[in-house]
Structure 1
Amino acid sequence: MIRRLFFELHYMLKKARWDTGISPPELIEFLEMQPPGRALDLGCGTGTNAITIAQYGWDVVGIDISTHAIRKARRKTNSVGAKVTFIQGDVAELKGIEGIFDLILDIGCFHAITTASKWEYARNVQKHLGPNGFFLLYTWLQQEIDGDKSLSLEEKLLKLFSPCCKCINVVRSSDWASHRLSAWFTMRRVP
């Protein structure tokens, strides 16, 4: 409830600092190399990345906890003529999301959900990621996944998604806005 209020206020009162309006080059590079399919944008915000994916010919569904963000996303989509289905909802629950996806994208949502929600989130990625599908995840590496101190946060994250995904690439960096350690994970559904 508090988390939802935080995001509602950011999208309602001002431009959220994480909402750059620009899709990252890692996503563009992926889209240029892959044939279109069905995509799910987790924590889609105002729809920038969902719209970009749709412009590459994909059938896209975006979900975000913020009603204000979803309203802005729908307006943006209509103004550029893209076709994206936007759903207001919790990424850990994915109510209203059906079927499988060739691409599941999360740019900056995973690190904003509660530790308890991360497990449900991972189960939903496993449930909705299709055969040989890709899971692209950009997240901070300074977060808690569980109480186990024997593994690094990166190792915990990979372990969390290991029942369904194999990590094929990790690009570590520092988040430009928060100066936190971050990484792009490219994972693929294991048969």
Structure 2
Amino acid sequence: MTPTILESDTAESFWDRHWSGMTRPSSGTPSAALERLVAGRPAGRAVDLGCGRGDDAIWLARNGWQVVAVDVSQAALDTVRRSAEAAGVGRQITCSRHDLSTMLPDRPFDLVLSMFTHTPLEFDRTALLRAAATLVAPGGLLLIAGHGSLAPWAWSDPEIQLPKAQDVADALALPDWTVIEIADHPREARGPDGQVAQVLDSVTALERPVG
């Protein structure tokens, strides 16, 4: 469960409290969109923006990628390091703490991930995604997955209108990029007390032109 926002919270303190309360290590089980859209691509350099516990980063490392795992929370990055070592991929993952609202890594990547980078704090997600596109190397892939709808137990109002995949693509305004996928996928979500609800995952995957 996402913790209560305190008046004194920064992004770092909020997410440190969240991830410190989750003792389960990364399973290395990837997001469905990552496995579906990246499994056949040649391994290279990847960055996982808002890596959380590191499931996607560890899966990528196991499949030959060199990964920079980025999060504002040191507690999250400590979990990524421990899980990567336990999985035998510690050398393939570099952890880097950044507040994504102010700073991103500055090197080009063959794969740039923004997987469910939602927050109950004030945050310009569209600005992040536009900045993320600048990190993609020629021929590289920008993969964005987000909540297209929320379960009733989620941290936000379940009636809130979240952007669908096409909305994200339109906001990015990258007409020369190749569309790999723009789709909203239904999924069965399970809550902390065994609740079940149907939600949407919005996936936008665009490939940067080589020339």
TM-score (norm 2): 0.72
2:168 to 137, 157, 169: 157
2: CA distance, partners of 1:4 / 1:158 = 28
By how many angstroms is 1:127 displaced? 1.6
Larger radius of gyration, structure 1 or 2?
2
- Number of the residue aligned with 1:65: 72
Decide whether the 8 Å contact of 2:148 with 2:202 is kept in 1.
yes
By how many angstroms is 1:162 displaced? 2.1
By how many angstroms is 1:173 displaced? 1.7
By how many angstroms is 1:121 displaced? 0.9
Decide whether the 8 Å contact of 1:172 with 1:181 is kept in 2.
yes
What is the DSSP-based 3-state SS (H/G/I as helix, E as strand, rest coil) of the residue aligned with 2:137? strand
1: CA distance, partners of 2:31 / 2:167 = 25
One-letter identity of the residue aligned with 1:5: S
2:142 to 121, 129, 135: 135
Correspondence 1:91 to 2:100: yes
- Number of the residue aligned with 1:118: 125
**Alignment deviations for residues 34-89 of structure 1 (CA, whole Å, 9 cap, x no partner):** 11111011111122211111111111101011110001111111222212001111
CA 1:175 to 1:3, structure 2 compared with 1: closer, same or farther past 3 Å?
A: farther
2: CA distance, partners of 1:167 / 1:114 = 31
1: CA distance, partners of 2:58 / 2:137 = 21
Decide whether the 8 Å contact of 2:133 with 2:142 is kept in 1.
no
For residues 34-113 of structure 1, what are the structure 2 equivalents within 5 Å? 34-82=41-89, 83-95=92-104, 97-109=105-117, 111-112=118-119
Decide whether the 8 Å contact of 1:134 with 1:189 is kept in 2.
yes
- Write out the 4+ residue segments of structure 1 that deviate beyond 6 Å after TM superposition: none
For residues 4-43 of structure 1, what are the structure 2 equivalents within 5 Å? 4-15=12-23, 21-43=28-50
CA 1:5 to 1:73, structure 2 compared with 1: closer, same or farther past 3 Å?
A: same
2: CA distance, partners of 1:54 / 1:93 = 27
2: CA distance, partners of 1:5 / 1:175 = 31
By how many angstroms is 1:115 displaced? 6.6
| More helix by percentage | 1
Equivalences, count: 180
Decide whether the 8 Å contact of 2:101 with 2:123 is kept in 1.
no
Q: Unaligned stretches of 5+ in structure 1?
A: 144-151
TM-score (norm 1): 0.78
- Number of the residue aligned with 1:149: none
1:173 to 168, 183, 186: 186
By how many angstroms is 1:10 displaced? 1.6
Q: Unaligned stretches of 5+ in structure 2?
A: 1-8, 151-161, 192-196
CA 1:61 to 1:33, structure 2 compared with 1: closer, same or farther past 3 Å?
A: same
By how many angstroms is 1:4 displaced? 3.3
